[in-house]
Amino acid sequence: MSSSNKKTQRQRKKTSFISPRRILIIAQSTVTQLVRMKVFYFLAPIAAVFVGIQFFDAPWYAGPEASQPQQELQMHKNLCLGTMMLFSSLFAIVSTALLIPRDIEDRTLYTILCKPVPRLDYLVGKLLGVMAVVFIALAVMDMILVVTLHFRTGAVLADLEPYLQKLGWPQELVDEKLDEISAHGPTMTLQYGVLAYFFKASVIAAVALLISTFSTSTLFTIASSVMIWIIGAAQNIARQGLFEQGGLAEDSGPIAKILATLVSLLFPDFQIFDSVAEAATRAADISSEQILQLGGFTFFYLAIYTVLSWFVFSDKEF
């Protein structure tokens, strides 16, 4: 006994400031917790909606005669991506807001923090856990989206080809048109759109994390995170209003500018994510650099919010 005791004592080295392994353990336990809270059950009705859209024709869809048959596919993508955005953002807020205040209320945190776990590790672990669950949920929805969109594209193409041939289009032109429509099907660009929403949900989760480190109730965390989410979405409009609409902007130039910069530091500009996702539904070109940039932007916000959370959290008493 004493020899093994000595051995373990020798093994106990300095606790590192941040340890990927420990973060992973906490992230893993967060995923387990969320899974056992049965959050994935929410995916069932969403899947049903996605499949249901399949059988729903846009009111303006006029069959193969339509001048722009891709509208049909765009509507499908719009509805699905919109649902995914709403779900992933709300999910990120609610699950982050539920986890940390609950750990504090239940005093589970006592037992975790009295093990050699730096508080930063705990926060990062929780955030990564929520992000992992959001990722899984989005991936499942994405899969359903890709499958349903694949069939729908097939149906539109199958309608269109004989119609164009009947109109006497030469085969090359028909193929060209079909290719053009296919670009609105399940493509890489569409995946970029989904990724943009994952980034957005992650940033929102980090905001909720920060709020939950100083708020004392779950409800307050959820309400204020939702508020920031809405302000973040609206601030682009507000900023445009401040700067680009003549008179007002010129008069109060510097003050307004400082104000806007402050606001944009506090409230992340979610428009950046939305515009990429919107481009994806239009099947516009999205370069991989653009996505990398978006990733960098996401990382920047995650880092800022995590460090701020850590500042608040490291002074917290239980």
Partner 1 sequence: MSDIPAVEVSGLVKDFQTSFRGPKLRAVDNVSLRIEPGEVYGMIGPNGSGKSTTMKALLGLVKPTAGTCSIFGKDSLKVDSRNDVGFLPENPYFYKHLTGAETIKFYGKLCGMRGAKLKHRIDEMLNLVGLDDARNRALKGYSKGMLQRIGLAQALVQDPRLVILDEPTAGVDPSGSREIRDLILELKNRGITVFLCSHLLEQVQEVCDRVGIINHGKMVRQGKLDDLIALEDRTEIVLENASPELLDQIHTLVDVTYGVDMISEGNPRTTLEDLFLRETKPRRTVTKKRRKRTNS
Residue 286 C-beta: closest distance to partner 1, Å:
40
Comparing CB distances to partner 1, the nearer of 36 and 166 is 36
CB-wise, 3 or 288, nearer to partner 1?
Answer: 3
At its nearest, how many Å lie between partner 1 and the CB of residue 16? 9
Which residues are within 8 A (CB) of 286 and not within 5 positions of it... i.e. 6 or more apart? 189, 192, 193, 276, 279, 280
Q: Which is nearer to partner 1, 150 or 316 (CB)?
A: 316
Phi, psi of 290 (to 5 degrees): -60, -40
Residue placing its CB nearer to partner 1 in the complex, 103 or 161 = 103
DSSP conformation letters of 90-146: HHHHHHHHHHHHHHHHTTHHHHHHTSS--HHHHHHHHHHHHHHHHHHHHHHHHHHHH
Nearer to partner 1, 214 or 243 (CB): 214
C-alpha of 23 from chain center = 21
First to last CA, the chain: 36
Question: Min. distance of Cβ 213 from partner 1 in angstroms?
Answer: 15
CB of 106 to partner 1, least distance (A): 4
The total number of residues written for the chain in this structure = 318
- The total of other beta-carbon atoms located within 10 Å of residue 37's CB is 13
SS3 61: coil
* Region class of 107: left (phi > 0), else alpha (psi between -120 and 50), else beta: left
Complex with partner 1: residue 95 or 235, whichever CB lies closer? 95
Residues near partner 1 (CB under 8 A): 1-2, 5, 8-9, 12, 14-15, 21-22, 25-26, 29, 32-33, 36-37, 106-108, 110-118, 315, 317-318
Contact 242, 249 (CB under 8 A): yes
Secondary structure of residue 47 in the 3-state scheme: helix
Task: Output the smallest distance, CB 148 to partner 1, in A.
Answer: 33
CB of 113 to partner 1, least distance (A): 6
Residues 204, 229: contact at Cβ < 8 Å?
yes
- Distance, in Å, from the CA atom of 203 to the CA atom of 172, rounded to the nearest integer, reads 46
Rounded distance between C-alpha atoms, residue 300 and residue 73, angstroms: 34
Closer residue to partner 1 in complex, CB, 37/303 = 37
Token readout for 20 is 């990927």
Q: In whole angstroms, how close is the CB of 32 to partner 1 at the nearest point?
A: 7
